[in-house]
A = this chain, B = another copy of it.
Amino acid sequence: MQTLHVELGDRRYPIFIGSDLDPQSLLEPYIRGKQVMVVTNTTVAPLYLEHYVTAIEHLGKTVATCILPDGEQYKNIEHLNLIFDALLQAGFNRDATVLALGGGVIGDMAGFASACFQRGVYFIQVPTTLLSQVDSSVGGKTGINHPLGKNMIGAFQQPQVVLADMSQLSTLPDRELSAGLAEVIKYALLGDQDFLVWLEQNMEGLVARDSGLLAEAVYRSCAHKARIVANDEKEQGERALLNLGHTFGHAIESYLGYGVWLHGEAVATGMVMAADLSQRMGWISLEDLERTKKIIQRAHLPVKCPAIPLQEFLAYMAHDKKVLNGQLRLVLMKSLGQAVISKEFDVELMKQAILANQEKA
């Protein structure tokens, strides 16, 4: 087992990364009160809920559960309210701990509920997908969607502890494993060329779900994100680098309709477009662009999106939340393994980069 500490001053917390982790001993120091609400979904509950409930009950805690339907379409205010209902029906108070057992949606909702219940109670994360292990484990972003926009309502809420157990990835569908790998690749592309080399050496093992390799990839990804977040907790500057591929990806997701492509799949193609634009601007070489596409393909991720009319693609990009005062800012690659935030790009080259990485209509 490896331990990574996310350094946030008095909200410093550990991420435990390994296989067949023992929740009882690992969680014990981090559950402060007597009451624990485990929030999970209908997919994860039959697989792992009992394991955690039993472990926490052995610690002498009162455990209640809240099982939400599985899917991003339920990440809304109505289902958030079900968590509040469960907390109050259980008679929990401001001493309660909310434990998120599931992927990103569960983490976002349970985390936000913990931030608001009684104006803030304790929060523990047990991410059960690769994406949530490398993404939601670090950063403290929680929230829900609104019909007029994703993640529009939320809070910054840091957990007391995160348990990232590779054993739980054995039940993850292939597409979701690959979507998680897209975020892993993102960390390498945006800031760590050594990690890119490591991924090039180990991608087959990662796709084959080698626990040791997955743990190493999660550790390196979280460490990378933790460094950035520690410098920029409230997303004023450097943290925007984490959006590599996201503005293009957002347009793909929006055009196709959310849920058709997984977020990681859209980010994967979005990263190709960002790399392509960076190459057209002379920042990275054609060889670098090919390395980018290759590692994405080896993770079984798409490097092209379906044909999308350019005007629609651009309109969706302009609606992305990263637009500040009407000025589109993109995360591009100054060199392979070194991303920058830029509004100094050639719009014509951007259009070429988008069109070059679409299927023919």
Contact = CB atoms under 8 A, between A and B. Distances in A.
Interface of A: 77, 81, 84-85, 88-89, 93-95, 115-120, 141, 143, 146, 148-149, 152-156, 234, 321, 324-325
Given A89-B148, A146-B84, A321-B93, A153 B116 contact: yes
Contact of A119 (B93, B116, B119, B155): B155
A119 B81 contact: no
A243 to B, nearest CB: 14
B152 A155 contact: no
Contact of A88 (B81, B84, B93, B152): B152
A77 B81 contact: yes
Contacts of A148: 85, 88-89
A152 B120 contact: no
Contacts of A84: 77, 146, 152-153
Contact of A146 (B88, B95, B154, B324): B88
A84 B149 CA distance: 11
Contacts of A94: 321
Contact of A116 (B89, B141, B155, B234): B155
Secondary structure at the A interface, as helix, strand, loop or mixed, is mixed
A143 B77 CA distance: 15
Contacts of A153: 84, 116-118
Contact of A156 (B89, B120, B143): B120
Contacts of A152: 84, 88, 117-118
A35 to B, nearest CB: 11
A88 B119 contact: no
A88 B149 contact: yes
Contacts of A119: 141, 143, 154-156
Contacts of A143: 116, 119
Ranked nearest first, the 7 interchain pairs of A and B with the lowest CB-CB distance are: A88-B148, A119-B154, A116-B153, A77-B81, A84-B153, A84-B146, A119-B155
A149 B149 CA distance: 30
A26 to B, nearest CB: 25
A115 B81 contact: no
Contacts of A88: 146, 148-149, 152
B154 A116 contact: yes
A315 to B, nearest CB: 14
Q: Of A89, A116, A143, A149, which is in contact with the most chain B CB atoms at under 10 Å from its CB?
A: A116
Contact of A115 (B89, B155, B324): B155
A321 B93 CA distance: 8
Given A88-B148, A116-B116, 20 more contacts: A77-B81, A84-B146, A84-B153, A85-B146, A88-B149, A94-B321, A95-B324, A115-B155, A116-B155, A117-B152, A117-B153, A118-B152, A118-B154, A118-B321, A119-B141, A119-B154, A119-B155, A119-B156, A120-B155, A155-B155
A222 to B, nearest CB: 21
Q: Of A81, A95, A153, A234, which is in contact with the most chain B CB atoms at under 10 Å from its CB?
A: A153
Contacts of A321: 93-94, 118
A84 B77 CA distance: 11
A77 B149 CA distance: 18
Nearest to A319: B91
A153 B88 CA distance: 10
